[in-house]
């Protein structure tokens, strides 16, 4: 930690700060600058200590050197993680997860599973618990939806991922799905993070729409700190001032997350843009920037989808996208 | 709903859109403009319908007329709500809620309760479940913390409010506190909103740090739609690009929330700024803009607080603030 | 400057960094931490040096201690500046500047001057050069507008302020107005800042809509570095994700600018909100937070204003606002 | 234009609004909805009219149908523009512009020109007028810098582009360079836009760091409205809350600008990220999303660059990037 003393702090005041720190078993080195002095503090520093130190008399700032995350960092594990979901190896091969925003009917899911499998997708997605802005909007089929998703995945040999929104649902969601998704709105729902950290299911952790990359990594750290190291990150756009897109896909965040952590990183061009015409350019850009795969909304009939229609592709559009991306051998 | 047709849409294409809508029992009026035509659609429109319509051929945009919230709107209840917490009437008198970020010890809470009562505060706050960015930071005393808070409130006749972060804790938190707080990070934790909506406890709903005013009102609508109308809003700053403050207190949001809804609105200058020197100007500004009260962090010894020290006032500073605000008769 | 070395940097690598710095005549102190070492660097540090140092091998970060601005800082001048415009003392008394967004006609300006004078305004505003988003929108009356403004100000003994958008117009604008305004879009138009810095006219410097407080102070530093110390700051709202207001008035910025600089600070609630109903709460809040005054849009007939009608008050509304603000003796 | 009347507006009030519009020669169609009525207004609508209409009694909102830009729109010119700079055809072939942030010395520019030419760059860049946040930072060599840039370009047969920051410099900058750059901070410097619109030089128009895509297109419209249709857009990152990057490269903006306008669009991964390690992933992503080319900072010795060192590549890094991008036949 570096403690920056205010201009005009006396030697006595500087040493009072040192005294507090030495009392807490830290080692201090004072550097007297031209206008201001700083104290280099050595020991096991926490964010809480930094916050406290900023309150002490004549302290202008206290800066933590080093990173608050450990388990997720590339220093901790130099080679990239591979997360196994069924036979899919996220972090090894480029992976595409496809399916509708919400599970609606059995036939919708079976048709979608067949179509996305044929087009080359590796996993199936579908929401049974939908976090909707309005209490009056469709909220998902819940357990019934999980069962439909599960069956559709089995029928076409596609591992399935679905969103979990309540710590009380971990058991039932884990029973029916191969991977649990934490949505953007729940990225800092720490109870939920801890609860999924207790399972041994792979977790797909979406970035919160106003979360920094560091907060996103700290959310992953929450899950890993509970013993579950099967975490996959997913960039899905952040909230900015630009009104022509629903969110702004932060391409740099993909590269930064890959650089600073060992976790696989996917991108979600559907939620990031909210517009069908942008899905192809964003999908290509995300892969070009190093993403380990994509999660794409696909619906048999987007015009009649119960949610997120405008950003869903139909089967033909999805097949065309997959052809275009040319991710290697199709099944 | 107004459907804006793309430039160059033919009359046939316009009437195909009308046909779909008439099939769904809506009434349509076509207005042919100079460059583009629009369709006025009458009936019980939903957001989902708007989203769908945007996908239809030659539709450029579909705009909903009217508001997605009902129960919280001032149209629904022209006079402002008064929420009763013990003998405190939020929305009637200007109210000050004070206390530490986190409950740490019995003596800390008793001393704080005594000091803030004496200075004129109306309610006591203190966190027993702390949502912290790092899994390695202090997470709160949990049930023990609730008990300490409850006793301190009783000892000085101050109703208490505390944050709830998990739907499974509603029963225990409701037992020990007079008002439940939904924190900024959980503003769109819809499971939690629904669960507190089932109680008959007053709810303090903080605005999410990247939530629009409309999303904030929709979160209140979630609680009210479950039957609990005792909702108080709290503006606590939004995330912007400005690095000198932790968040940007959105003063306009206070005035807008008062204008469009009938709910009382408080402001939290401590979290909004993250800096002690800003608490007084922000507190005064919030009241000047029409806030129904304030929630202020107070700690016996901010230098040693286990969390959020930099934004906490000590007893003397709080008493001085209260004197300065001059909110009416002190006890 | 603090140079943070990467984890794993060897002593040799650390001393290579020191050697570069010593060569440039800086003094270095190495502090070896538990995981990482830092170097305290003493001397006359520039931002450019910090940027360079971050590129050297094994350097993780280089942090500047101290502030990049000098002339505007409160350390440089502890007592607040008072800027004299005619007989108006900005920084001493609370000041209200009022008038239309754009100068349109002689009668419009004379009527407005009379009305705002009567209501208690201290200065008259009106735009002759309008920076408009669209090239097809009304761009102002230019020199003719300056003359009209000048006459209206003289007729009612109100000093006038008007926006300047082009360095070639400094001479003519300075001839007709008592104070030059730099608008938000030109806050980092450094040619313009330097040019107005060469005049001895008071300058009203609006904050850019995505400028940090530090960048705003640096823009003021540009003007002062050219020898013109008559600078008044004006907060007018920043761009955020919130769609219900045109901009978000950053109340904290007012308090921070007052705390860190000695310059007077005004607020512009009209541009900040873009809504008439918000002007009163924002005006009150800005004054409560310590603003030295307000700049308010007033138009004889806002319904027919050539620009910015929605945020303009009519005479009656302005008089009512002034009564409500109760800023002291009216003329 | 669609005028949305407030809930509770009477038929009389609705027709008063219509009367005003009919007086202004517009045609009105009233649609009475369940809760609210709307008026469809036909004629030559302007933004100013929309603003005014929002002020009329009982009007809730006035929405413009259609786009405020014309000359830049793809409707106006369906095939993409090709902008010719020397023998380089921007919009036809993928183009790479490379060079240092600032022109420093003759040898620096000659060496850079040679290196980037050899690596396959098509044009040379270099700043002679530098808009710097601090008045105390290096501001560029001005005319001397222009001459050096011009000579280096000629020596290696590379057309040159350089930033212009002051309308008074148009003549001299146009004399020495093949293309004029409008920087992000000047995107809404309308005097400068109009002045370069009077030249017949190609213009490189960077997006402002908090400008919407529509505002960016309107800035291009300013230039084109003056008669200069040789405009190339350049996305260089927007300001968001994320602190790990200098700006957030908005990949969607590239695709949207291509979709809605006929102008070529480049990307600037150097300014967007501010970090050397991000340049390669961002460059690849931008091209994948459809960018017509890149502008990249290259410096013989980034460690000693007078500005923007951290985001500059050295010759070897640039050659490696170019190899990696594999843009077609190298010279």
Three-class DSSP category at D30: strand
The 10s digit of each residue's pLDDT in C187-219 is 999 999 999 999 999 999 999 999 999 999 999
One-character DSSP codes across D289-315: TT-SEEEEEB-S-GGG-SS-GGG-B-H
How many Å apart are CA A107 and CA A86, to the nearest integer?
23
With contacts defined as CB-CB under 8 Å, which chain C residues touch B272?
252
With contacts defined as CB-CB under 8 Å, which chain D residues touch C185?
188-189
* Contact check, Cβ <8 Å, C250/B259: no
How many Å apart are CA B161 and CA B179, to the nearest integer?
5
One-character DSSP codes across D182-235: EPGGGTT-HHHHHHHHHS-S-EEEEPPTT--HHHHHHHHHHHHHTT---EEEEE
Average pLDDT, stretch C289-306?
89
With contacts defined as CB-CB under 8 Å, which chain B residues touch D66?
7, 33, 35-36
pLDDT for C329 equals 47
pLDDT for B37 equals 86
Phi, psi dihedral angles at D295 (to 5 degrees) = -125, 125
Q: Tell me which residues of chain A, numbers 84 to 123, contact chain B at a CB-CB cutoff of 8 Å.
A: none
pLDDT for A308 equals 66
Token reading at A296: 């794409």
* pLDDT for C156 beyond 70: yes
One-character DSSP codes across A42-103: ES---HHHHHHHTTSTTEEEEE--S-S--TTBTTT--SPP-EEETTEEETTB-EEEEE-SB-
How many Å apart are CA A272 and CA B209, to the nearest integer?
19
Closest CA to C182 of C148, C243, C228, C113: C228
How many Å apart are CA D277 and CA A259, to the nearest integer?
9
- The single-letter DSSP state of residue B161 is E
pLDDT for D83 equals 98
CA A294, A295, A296: angle at the middle one, nearest 5?
110
Which residue in D2, D44, D75 is closest to B2 by CB distance? D2
Q: Least CA distance to B54: which residue of chain A?
A: A310
pLDDT category, D48, cuts 50, 70, 90? confident
pLDDT for B329 equals 47
- Characterize the bridge pairing of strands C179-182 and C203-206: parallel
- Mean pLDDT taken over chain C: 92
pLDDT for B63 equals 84
pLDDT for B35 equals 78
For residue A326, is it left (φ>0), alpha (ψ between -120 and 50) or beta?
left
Return the bridge partners of D265, or none.
Answer: D233
- The single-letter DSSP state of residue A313 is B
Give the dihedral sign, CA C145/C150/C155/C159. positive
pLDDT category, A43, cuts 50, 70, 90? confident
pLDDT for D51 equals 78
pLDDT category, D308, cuts 50, 70, 90? low
pLDDT for A331 equals 38
Task: Quote the strand ranges of chain B, DSSP E.
Answer: 2-5, 27-32, 37-42, 59-63, 83-85, 88-90, 95-99, 123-125, 160-163, 179-182, 203-206, 231-235, 265-267, 293-297
Contact of C182 with C129, CB cutoff 8 Å: no
How many Å apart are CA B121 and CA B297, to the nearest integer?
12
* Contact check, Cβ <8 Å, C252/B259: no
Closest CA to A261 of A81, A90, A92: A81
Give the dihedral sign, CA A218/A220/A226/A229. negative
pLDDT for B331 equals 38
pLDDT category, C331, cuts 50, 70, 90? very low
How many Å apart are CA B267 and CA B96, to the nearest integer?
10
What kind of architecture, by CATH, is found in domain B83-325? Alpha-Beta Barrel (3.20)
pLDDT for D269 equals 95
Which residue in D210, D212, D249 is closest to A251 by CB distance? D249
User: Residues of A189-201 as b/e, b for ≥16 C-beta within 10 angstroms?
Assistant: bbbbbbbbbebeb
Query: What is the number of CB-based contacts under 8 A between chain B and chain C?
Result: 107
- Characterize the bridge pairing of strands A160-163 and A2-5: unpaired
List of chains touching C (3+ CB pairs within 8 A): A, B, D
The 10s digit of each residue's pLDDT in D262-287 is 999 999 998 877 888 999 999 999 99
How far is Cα of residue A160 from the mean position of the Cα atoms in its chain? 18
How many Å apart are CA A191 and CA A203, to the nearest integer?
15
Q: Least CA distance to D305: which residue of chain C?
A: C52
pLDDT for A186 equals 97
pLDDT for C29 equals 86
Closest CA to D183 of D134, D141, D237: D237
pLDDT for C180 equals 98
Q: Which of B1, B2, B21 to mutate to probe the D interface, most D CBs <10 Å?
A: B2
The 10s digit of each residue's pLDDT in D86-101 is 999 999 999 999 999 9
- Characterize the bridge pairing of strands D83-85 and D88-90: antiparallel
Closest CA to B173 of B157, B192, B158: B192
The set of residues, in sequence order, having a beta carbon less than 8 Å from that of A70 and lying 6+ positions away, is A76, A221
pLDDT for D305 equals 67
* Contact check, Cβ <8 Å, B133/A307: no
Contact of C115 with C132, CB cutoff 8 Å: no
- The single-letter DSSP state of residue D121 is -
For residue D325, is it left (φ>0), alpha (ψ between -120 and 50) or beta?
alpha
How large a percentage of chain A has pLDDT more than 70? Answer: 97
Token reading at C110: 């004379």
pLDDT for D167 equals 97
Cβ burial, residue A329 (10 Å; 0-12/13-18/19+)? exposed
The 10s digit of each residue's pLDDT in D59-85 is 888 888 778 899 999 988 999 999 999
Higher pLDDT, C136 or B81: B81
Query: What does each C-alpha distance from D127 to C159, D124, D141, D249, D306 come to in angstroms?
Result: 41, 10, 8, 22, 11
Q: Which of B214, B237, B241, B243 to mutate to probe the D interface, most D CBs <10 Å?
A: B241
The 10s digit of each residue's pLDDT in A87-105 is 999 999 999 999 999 999 9
* pLDDT for A47 beyond 80: no
User: Residues of B166-186 as b/e, b for ≥16 C-beta within 10 angstroms?
Assistant: bbbbbeebbebbbbbbbbbbb
* pLDDT for A82 beyond 50: yes
The 10s digit of each residue's pLDDT in A200-254 is 999 999 999 999 999 999 999 999 999 999 999 999 999 999 999 999 999 999 9
pLDDT for C42 equals 85
pLDDT for D306 equals 67
pLDDT for C129 equals 96
Contact of B321 with B314, CB cutoff 8 Å: no
Which of the residues in chain B have pLDDT under 70?
305-309, 328-331
- Does any CB of chain B come closer than 8 Å to the CB of residue D304? no
Q: Where are the alpha helices (DSSP H) in chain C?
A: 11-23, 47-53, 106-119, 143-155, 170-176, 190-198, 213-225, 251-260, 269-273, 276-288, 315-325
Contact of C247 with C271, CB cutoff 8 Å: yes
How many Å apart are CA C9 and CA C180, to the nearest integer?
53
Enumerate the domain spans of chain B. Answer: 2-63, 83-325
pTM across the whole model: 0.93
Contact of D224 with D197, CB cutoff 8 Å: yes
The 10s digit of each residue's pLDDT in A255-268 is 999 999 999 999 99
Fold of B2-63: Alpha-Beta Plaits (3.30.70)
One-character DSSP codes across B42-94: ES---HHHHHHHTTSTTEEEEE--S-S--TTBTTT--SPP-EEETTEEETTB-
Average pLDDT, stretch C80-108?
97
- Does any CB of chain D come closer than 8 Å to the CB of residue B291? no
């Amino acid at each position: 930690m570096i403690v920056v003393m205010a201009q005009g702090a006396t030697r006595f005041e500087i040493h009072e700060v040192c005294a507090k720190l030495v009392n807490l078993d830290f080692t201090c080195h004072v550097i007297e600058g031209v206008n201001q002095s700083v104290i280099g503090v050595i020991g096991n520093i926490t964010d809480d200590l930094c916050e406290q130190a900023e309150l002490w008399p004549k302290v202008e700032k206290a800066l933590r050197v080093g990173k608050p995350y450990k388990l997720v960092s590339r220093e901790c594990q130099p080679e990239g993680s591979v997360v196994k979901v069924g036979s899919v190896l996220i972090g090894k091969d480029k992976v595409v997860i496809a399916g509708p925003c919400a599970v609606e009917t059995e036939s919708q899911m079976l048709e979608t599973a067949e179509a996305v499998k044929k087009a080359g997708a590796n996993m199936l997605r579908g929401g049974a618990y939908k976090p909707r802005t309005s209490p009056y909007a469709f909220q998902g089929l819940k357990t019934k939806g999980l069962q439909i998703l599960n069956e559709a995945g089995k029928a076409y040999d596609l591992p399935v991922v679905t969103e979990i929104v309540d710590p009380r649902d971990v058991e039932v969601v884990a029973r029916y799905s191969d991977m649990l998704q934490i949505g953007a709105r729940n990225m800092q729902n720490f109870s939920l993070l801890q609860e999924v950290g207790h399972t041994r299911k792979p977790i797909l952790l979406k970035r919160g729409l106003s979360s920094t990359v560091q907060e996103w990594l700290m959310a992953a750290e929450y899950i890993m700190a509970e013993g579950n190291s099967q975490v996959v990150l997913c960039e899905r756009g952040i909230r900015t001032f630009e009104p022509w897109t629903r969110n702004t896909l932060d391409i740099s965040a993909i590269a930064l997350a890959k650089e600073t952590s060992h976790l696989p990183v996917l991108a979600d061009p559907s939620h990031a843009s909210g517009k069908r015409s942008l899905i192809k350019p964003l999908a290509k850009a995300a892969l070009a920037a190093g993403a380990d795969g994509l999660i794409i909304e696909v619906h048999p009939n987007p015009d009649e989808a119960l949610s997120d229609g405008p950003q869903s592709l139909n089967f033909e559009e999805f097949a065309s996208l997959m052809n275009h991306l040319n991710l290697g051998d199709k099944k």
